[in-house]
Structure 1
Amino acid sequence: MTVYLDGGHLTLDQIKSVLDGKEDVKIHEDAWAKINRSRQTIESVISRGDVVYGVNTGFGKMSDTLISHKDIGQLQVNLIRSHACGVGEPLSERVSRGMLLLRANALAKGFSGVTNETLQILIDCINHGIHPVIPSQGSLGASGDLAPLSHLALVLIGEGEAIYKGEKMSGKEALFKCGLAPITLQAKEGLALINGTQAMTAIGVVSYLEARDLAMFADSVAALTLESLRGITDPFFPESHQVRPYPEQQEVASRILGFVDDSHLTTRQGDIRVQDAYSLRCIPQVHGAIHRVLNYVKDTLAIEINAATDNPLVFSDSGHVISGGNFHGQPVAFAMDFLGIALSETASIAERRVERLVNPQLNDFPPFLSADPGLESGLMITQYVAASLVSENKTLAHPSSVDSIPSSANQEDHVSMGTTAARHAHLIIQNTRRVVAIEALCAAQAADYRGPEKLASYTKAIYDFIRSKAPTITKDRIFSLDIQKIEKGILAEEWKVYINEGVS
């Protein structure tokens, strides 16, 4: 299968397929005419001697400095080299691949003035699996993701570093191994490659895709915990959710009821107790609000992945080349901060359910679900770990989008910090996945005490997934390994296989 790019119709699910290596990428044939007209507009600007930012001027505060015609090509190379000053651990190959894809899609809109060769080499890098090594820190999230995208662009001109087939090498070597040659940048092309929001957006897309699946798994594990604690199902009945009609709240309530439909463990109001704790009773309200945030993030990303975010923008129909501000990452910054806050709450409520599973004062299980309490500590310290991760998330969830530091001699005096927001959101998601894995480990052990055969069909499938990674605890062992295996299984979406097999 092939994903065709035209700058306007790329979907999040298509991005996922490309990130997973399941589909190659091509520029849609209808897009090439617009791309060529855009390039012709740039050539006309040059031939007329018009002064246009980034074409024949310096950058940022030096935008009033005119560049001679003979130096226009060198200007673009100098831009890439000087701006490639990112620091920190490299972004994952998945994010790097996403950046290549999103930049290609943005250029395919036909408002950037690039040559066919420059756009094609982005496509070639995706299809051959060449992933630029891109340091994760150093973007302000306005004027585009300048530093990260410069490291991407280095590889296209045969410089920098790339990962190819799991091996780090020079950008030039990676291209040559695939039968590709470095490009020679023409007027505006360096700026067209780096003035955009593709680093924050690629991190954002990867984070959203992980968060979307994690939120669904968190619903599933919450249902297993509800059963293991003999929770009350009345709070999930539709009546109370119809009078507070958030669609996502209603969906979660209905989903949980469906998950435990044929359970022999859940109870009704007054059977054992009149009310459950908030971490059980309010699952629809909290998880529903989290899903609502995910929908907002999805809508924002759906716009951003098909947006022209470089500067200046080339409008061939009017002949205008407009220097504006579409590179400013504020929409993505807000969405990423919101995503981080929402997923930190996923971890927060999950940790409270862990406490109810291991604390003997809150349940009728052996202390800490231990096989031999006293001699063995059981799952006592897993709650400590969950609490630590939740606390760390609270610091990471401080919004980056409310911060701004002026740059370029105060010419660029307000920035979004969107890339920082996206990086923090992804860290929160990783932490949250570990907390949910801990809840899964504890809930499965609690289910063992009740009798797994009493579980509903759906939650039994979730239980079977957990047990495929972590067998029933009969004595103390190194639980870190269990948590890691469950976490990896969640990330790889292996649990869905158990659902399909166990419920069908």
Structure 2
Amino acid sequence: MTILPDPQTTSAVLILDGSEVSLEQVQAVAEGRCQVVLSSAPAFLERITRGSAFLERLLAEDGVIYGVTTGYGDSCTRLVPSANMEDLPRQLYTFHGCGLGEVLSHEAARAVVMVRLVSLCRGYSGVCVELLERLVWLLQHDVMPVIPEEGSVGASGDLTPLSYLAAVLCGEREVLVGGERRPTAEVFAELGQTPYRLKPKEGLALMNGTAVMTALSVLAFTRCSYLTQLASRITAMAVYALDGNPYHFDADLFAAKPHPGQNRVAARIRADLHAASTPRNSARLQDRYSTRCAPHVIGVVEDALPWWRQFLETELNSANDNPLIDAEQEKVMHGGHFYGGHIAFAMDSMKQACANIADLLDRQLAQLVDVRFNHGLPSNLSGASPERAALNHGYKAVQIGASAWTAEALKLTMPASVFSRSTECHNQDKVSMGTIAARDALRVLTLVEQVAAASLHAACQGVELRSQLQDTAPPPADLQSFVHQCRTHFPPLAEDRALERELRLLCDLIRQRCWNLYDA
């Protein structure tokens, strides 16, 4: 894999040659910041071609190959007449066209296509080069399959959602293009593309894999990683606004419990607060846990990110369909690499750890609005004049909303991976539920982002109100600068106003990773 600048655009160009791809590169492709091309290196093209050539020779010599001359799953004992073999891949994606629920976003669909392409480029799937070129074409022309979210149990891979990718390649079903949902055949005709005819093994190669759960997990990882930084910044703002003890984040203190991620979070908050070493005897003793223990909550996520990355990048760069084709040693290997257990475990743990961040921020917000705990700030952080104080309620309803979003996030932390169901006539009698786990994680992340948006809005108000109090030092420079950046998007809250639009804007800005919070 090579990355080159594209002279025609501001995007990078990723050349796929079967070598490893990072989560960040998949994210860049999903967001349209990176274009994809297939390597023209002879060694790469030969490796792909050898797999499909070996299958053709095996078919001629042995006459029986699973999924090529047989039915699928528990139907593997049923032989398909040679006259019908070419129709078998179409049958596979046709009968799997039963997905329901909401459809994947355009960004998620791009990630799915990219993840499946990366896996097939490994050279163990018995596909031809033209199929890879067709997947690249979809990305280059931004023609994305309409993929329903629901219907996968995460083994035998993401069969039902990936059937929509296979069908689109063949000119069927619908695509997302230019923000519209349109018939694939119509879009292909406009762009001069012909429907592809799948070779005997290619239906399985496209569908029998973990591309959907992996793609969604990549998007979740990116959002989760950003939230740990944002939660660190909001915590520092809350500590200042609450007139809290900045020495709870002392470097020597955290050296005594050396979890690396936890220490990074403490260092961020310490730097934001410009807190030097703890004095001999601090005037302010112990703050409540939602600020004092913030590094211990956010740090769990920060420390989990490396092993989540390991799980996701290994899955991303794997051959995960069945059977695999080893053209070098000339053997067909039947196994269960479509099983999404690693993805399921990573996503189940991510949603639990991230929901805890929502709970943390919600507790900080509860302190900020409550005159019993906010050390002299106005009730509900209202910025109204004394004459109007009785009429205005500040962030009262926002805190209620944050509590509701937090409760929903916490409710969704039940692990999906333990709910295996026996399916497909008990052939698929133990399944991963990886795709459900990934979808759950994304929903939890959306709720956490909503709590973060509410907390950020209120924390800006709290910082400014605190700085206006007599005998209060101005906010540290980094916090002051950040509040100024936020104020370009929403003003202080004086008289009550409906905040929905501003909160939705903040959610979008968080999703887009708008602020460069800390240097890498």
TM-score (norm 2): 0.92
1:490 aligned residue: 510
Aligned residue for 1:454, secondary structure, equals coil
Letter of the 2:511 counterpart: L
User: Is residue 304 of structure 1 aligned with residue 315 of structure 2?
Assistant: yes
User: Is residue 365 of structure 1 aligned with residue 377 of structure 2?
Assistant: yes
User: Is residue 285 of structure 1 aligned with residue 296 of structure 2?
Assistant: yes
| 1:387-445 deviations in Å (ceiling 9; x for gaps) | 11111112211000111101110011000100000000000001000101111111111
**1:366 positional shift:** 1.1
Q: CA RMSD in A?
A: 1.8
Q: Is the 8 A contact 1:142 1:329 kept in 2?
A: yes
- 51, 56, 79: which is aligned to 2:92? 79
Which aligned pairs between 1:8-23 and structure 2 lie closer than 5 A?
Answer: 8-23=19-34
Q: Is the 8 A contact 2:148 2:161 kept in 1?
A: yes
Which aligned pairs between 1:66-465 and structure 2 lie closer than 5 A?
Answer: 66-261=79-274, 273-363=284-374, 364-370=376-382, 371=384, 372-451=388-467, 454-465=474-485
CA distance in structure 2 between the aligned counterparts of 1:84 and 1:102, rounded to whole angstroms: 20
**1:258 positional shift:** 1.2
CA distance in structure 2 between the aligned counterparts of 1:434 and 1:196, rounded to whole angstroms: 33
| 1:46-68 deviations in Å (ceiling 9; x for gaps) | 11134221111101110111112
Letter of the 1:46 counterpart: L
Q: Is the 8 A contact 1:134 1:151 kept in 2?
A: yes
Aligned residue for 1:495, secondary structure, equals coil
CA distance in structure 2 between the aligned counterparts of 1:92 and 1:269, rounded to whole angstroms: 55
Letter of the 1:314 counterpart: I
CA distance change for structure 1 residues 397 and 280 in 2, over 3 Å: closer, same or farther?
same
CA distance in structure 2 between the aligned counterparts of 1:167 and 1:483, rounded to whole angstroms: 27
**1:369 positional shift:** 0.9
**1:268 positional shift:** 6.6
Give the number of aligned pairs. 497
**1:238 positional shift:** 1.6
Q: Is the 8 A contact 1:445 1:472 kept in 2?
A: yes
**1:176 positional shift:** 2.6
Structure 1: gaps of 5 or more residues = none
| 1:182-240 deviations in Å (ceiling 9; x for gaps) | 10111111111100000001111111111111221111111111111122122211222
Letter of the 2:496 counterpart: D
Aligned residue for 1:469, secondary structure, equals coil
1:474 aligned residue: 494
TM-score (norm 1): 0.95
CA distance in structure 1 between the aligned counterparts of 2:290 and 2:124, rounded to whole angstroms: 50
Q: Is the 8 A contact 1:358 1:369 kept in 2?
A: yes
**1:271 positional shift:** 5.4
Q: Is the 8 A contact 1:221 1:439 kept in 2?
A: yes
Letter of the 2:482 counterpart: I
My pick for the range that moved more, 6-15 or 338-347, is: 6-15
CA distance in structure 2 between the aligned counterparts of 1:328 and 1:351, rounded to whole angstroms: 37
Q: Is the 8 A contact 1:56 1:67 kept in 2?
A: yes
1:36 aligned residue: 49
Letter of the 2:435 counterpart: T
Structure 2: gaps of 5 or more residues = 1-11
CA distance in structure 2 between the aligned counterparts of 1:21 and 1:374, rounded to whole angstroms: 50
CA distance in structure 2 between the aligned counterparts of 1:216 and 1:180, rounded to whole angstroms: 44
Letter of the 1:361 counterpart: R
Q: Is the 8 A contact 1:157 1:182 kept in 2?
A: yes
CA distance in structure 2 between the aligned counterparts of 1:231 and 1:290, rounded to whole angstroms: 24
| 1:54-83 deviations in Å (ceiling 9; x for gaps) | 111101110111112221110110101111
Aligned residue for 1:26, secondary structure, equals strand
Letter of the 2:302 counterpart: H
Letter of the 1:153 counterpart: A
**1:286 positional shift:** 1.1
Aligned residue for 2:488, secondary structure, equals helix
CA distance in structure 1 between the aligned counterparts of 2:346 and 2:110, rounded to whole angstroms: 21
Letter of the 1:81 counterpart: T
CA distance in structure 2 between the aligned counterparts of 1:272 and 1:388, rounded to whole angstroms: 36
User: Is residue 57 of structure 1 aligned with residue 70 of structure 2?
Assistant: yes
CA distance in structure 2 between the aligned counterparts of 1:262 and 1:352, rounded to whole angstroms: 23
1:3 aligned residue: 14
2:6 aligned residue: none
CA distance in structure 2 between the aligned counterparts of 1:443 and 1:267, rounded to whole angstroms: 25
**1:270 positional shift:** 6.2
| 1:352-407 deviations in Å (ceiling 9; x for gaps) | 00001101111111110122433111101111111111111122110001111011
Q: Is the 8 A contact 2:377 2:466 kept in 1?
A: no
Q: Is the 8 A contact 1:163 1:174 kept in 2?
A: no
